[in-house]
Structure 1
Amino acid sequence: EAYANCTVLEARPCYDVARLMFLDAERKKAERGRIYFTNLQSKENTPSMINPKPCGHLCCCVIRGCEEVEAIEYYTKLEEKLKDDYKREKEKVNEKPLGMAFVTFHNETITAIILKDFNACKCQGCACHGEPRASSCSESLHVSNWTVSYAPDPQNIYWEHLSIRGFIWWIRCLVINVVLFILLFFLTTPAIIITTMDKFNVTKPVEYLNNPIITQFFPTLLLWCFSALLPTIVYYSAFFEAHWTRSGENRTTMHKCYTFLIFMVLLLPSLGLSSLDVFFRWLFDKKFLAEAAVRFECVFLPDNGAFFVNYVIASAFIGNAMDLLRIPGLLMYMIRLCLARSAAERRNVKRHQAYEFQFGAAYAWMMCVFTVVMTYSITCPIIVPFGLMYMLLKHLVDRYNLYYAYLPAKLDKKIHSGAVNQVVAAPILCLFWLLFFSTMRTGFLAPTSMFTFVVLVITIVICLCHVCFGHFKYLSAHNYKIDHTEVDAIENRQNGRPATNLPAPKSAKYIAQVLQDSLPEGETTESEEQGSQDEELINADGMNDTDFQSCEDSLIENEIHQ
Structure 2
Amino acid sequence: MIPSLSLDMGHSHLVYFWNKTGSTETPNGTYCYSTAQESTVLQGVTFGGVPTVLLLDVTCFLVIILIFSIIRRRFWDYGRIALVSENESLITDLFIYLWCSDEDIHERCGNDAIIYLHFQRHLICLLVIVSMLSLCVILPVNLSGGLLDKDPYSFGRTTIANLQTGNNLLWLHIIFAIIYLMLTVIFMRHHSRSVKHKEGVVRCTLFINGLPKNAKKSTIENHFREAYPSCTVEEVQICYDVAKLTHLYKERKKAMKNVAYYTDIFQRLGKRCFINTKPCGHFCCCDIRGCEREDAIDYYTKVSNKNLDEYLKEEEIIHNKPLGMVFVTLKEKSMATHILKDFNACKCQGCNCKGEPQPSTWSKELFISKWSAAYATHPEDICWNNLSVQGPKWWFRWFCINLLLFCGLFFLTTPSIIISTMDKFNVTKPIHYLNNPVVSQFFPTVLLWSFSALLPTIVYYSTLFELHWTKSGEHRIMMHKVYIFLIFMVLILPSLGLTSLDFFFRWVFDKASKSRIRLECVFLPDQGAFFVNYVIASSFIGNGMELLRLPGLMLYTIRMILARSSAERDNVKQHQAFQFEFGAMYAWTLCVFTVVMAYSITCPIIVPFGLIYLLLKHTVDRYNLYYAFLPAKLEKQIHFAAVNQALAAPILCLFWLFFFSLLRLGFKAPITLFTFLVLLIAIAVCLGYTCFGCLKHLSPRNYKVNHSSCIGKSLCLLHFVTWCLRVSEKLTAMLPGDQTVSLGWSPNASTYLVVMAMPTEENEYLL
Q: TM-score range by the shorter chain?
A: 0.7 to 0.9
Does 2:559 match 1:349? no
Verify the 8 A CA contact 2:446 2:534 in the aligned structure 1. Answer: no
Change in Cα spacing, 1:447 to 1:374, as seen in structure 2 (3 Å) is same
**1:494 aligned residue:** none
Task: Give the partner amino acid of 1:512.
Answer: T
Q: Deviation of residue 403 (structure 1)?
A: 2.2
Aligned partner of 1:40 among 265, 279, 285: 265
Q: CA deviation at 1:205?
A: 13
Aligned-partner SS, 2:373: coil
Counterpart selection for 1:559 from 752, 756, 760: 752
> Does the 8 Å contact 2:452/2:490 carry over to 1?
no
State the secondary structure of the residue aligned to 1:98: strand
How far has the Cα of 1:288 moved from its partner? Answer: 5.2
Change (3 A) 1:65 1:509: same
Indicate the residue corresponding to 2:339 in structure 1: 114
TM-fit CA distance, 1:126: 2.9
User: Structure 2 counterpart of 1:510, which letter?
Assistant: F
Specify whether residues 63 and 457 from structure 1 end up closer, same or farther in structure 2 by C-alpha distance, changes over 3 A only.
Answer: farther
Partner letter of residue 39 of structure 1?
A: D
How do residues 152-551 of structure 1 correspond to structure 2 at under 5 angstroms? 152-196=377-421, 225-287=450-512, 294=517, 296-470=519-693, 484=703, 502-504=709-711, 506-507=715-716, 508-518=718-728, 544-546=737-739
Amino acid at match of 2:253: K
Three-state SS of the structure 2 residue aligned to 1:408 is coil
Q: For residue 649 of structure 2, what is the amino acid of its counterpart?
A: A
Q: Secondary structure at the match of 1:149?
A: strand
Gaps in structure 2 of 5+ consecutive residues = 1-225, 755-767
Residue pair 2:445, 2:537 contacting (<8 A) in 1 also: no
Deviations 1:287-312 (A, max 9, x none): 4559xx94543431352111111111
Q: Which residue of 1 aligns with 2:353?
A: 128
C-alpha displacement of 1:415: 0.6
Distance 1:550 1:448, change over 3 A: farther
Higher RCO (C-alpha 8 Å, min separation 6): 2
Q: Identify if the C-alpha distance between structure 1 residues 484 and 175 changes in structure 2 by more than 3 Å, giving closer, same or farther.
A: closer
The alpha-carbon deviation at position 340 of structure 1 amounts to 1.1
Tell me the SS of whatever aligns to 2:526.
Answer: helix
Deviation (angstroms), 1:226: 3.2
Counterpart amino acid of residue 356 in structure 1: Q
**Worse overlay, 386-395 or 342-351:** 386-395
Match of 1:11 in 2: 236
Kept after mapping to 2: 8 A contact 1:194/1:223? no
Q: Which amino acid aligns with 2:328?
A: V
Whole-angstrom distance in 2 between the partners of 1:360 and 1:46: 49
Kept in 2, the 8 Å contact 1:320–1:393? The answer is yes
SS in structure 2 opposite 1:303?
coil
Cα displacement (A) at 1:358: 0.4
Contact 2:445 2:534 in 1 (8 A): no
Q: Secondary structure at the match of 1:244?
A: coil
Paired residue total = 513
> Shift in Å at residue 559 of structure 1?
2.3
List gaps (5 residues or longer) in structure 1: 474-481, 488-499, 522-534
* Residue range with higher mean Cα deviation, 13-22 or 51-60: 51-60
The answer as to 2:304 corresponding to 1:79 is yes
- 1:338-368 deviations in Å (ceiling 9; x for gaps): 1111111111111122111100000000000
User: How far apart are residue 464 of structure 1 and its match?
Assistant: 0.9
Aligned partners of 1:204 and 1:379: how far apart in 2? Answer: 32
The alignment partner of 2:265 has SS state of helix
- The answer on whether the counterparts of 1:51 and 1:66 sit within 8 Å (CA) in structure 2 is yes
Q: For residues 179 and 190 of structure 1, what CA distance do their matches in structure 2 show?
A: 19
CA distance in 2, matches of 1:245, 1:384: 37
1:104 is aligned to 329
Q: Aligned equivalents of 1:285 and 1:373: distance in 2?
A: 31
CA distance, structure 2, for counterparts of residue 486 and residue 218 of structure 1: 58
Give the Cα separation in 2 of the matches to 1:112 and 1:469.
20
Taking the aligned partners of 1:5 and 1:145, their CA distance within structure 2 comes to 23
- What secondary structure does 2:602 align onto? coil
Contact 1:374/1:427, CA 8 A, preserved across alignment: yes
Range moving further from structure 2, 178-187 or 57-66:
57-66
How far residue 61 of structure 1 moved from its aligned partner, in angstroms, is 5.9
CA distance in 1, matches of 2:695, 2:260: 61
State how far apart, in whole Å, the 2-side matches of 1:452 and 1:229 are: 37
Give the whole-Å Cα distance in 2 for the aligned partners of 1:434 and 1:545.
74
Q: Indicate the residue corresponding to 1:476 in structure 2.
A: none
- Equivalent position of 2:218 in the other structure: none
Instruction: Quote the Cα distance in structure 2 between the aligned partners of 1:280 and 1:26.
Output: 49
SS of equivalent to 2:227: coil
TM-score normalised to structure 2 length: 0.62
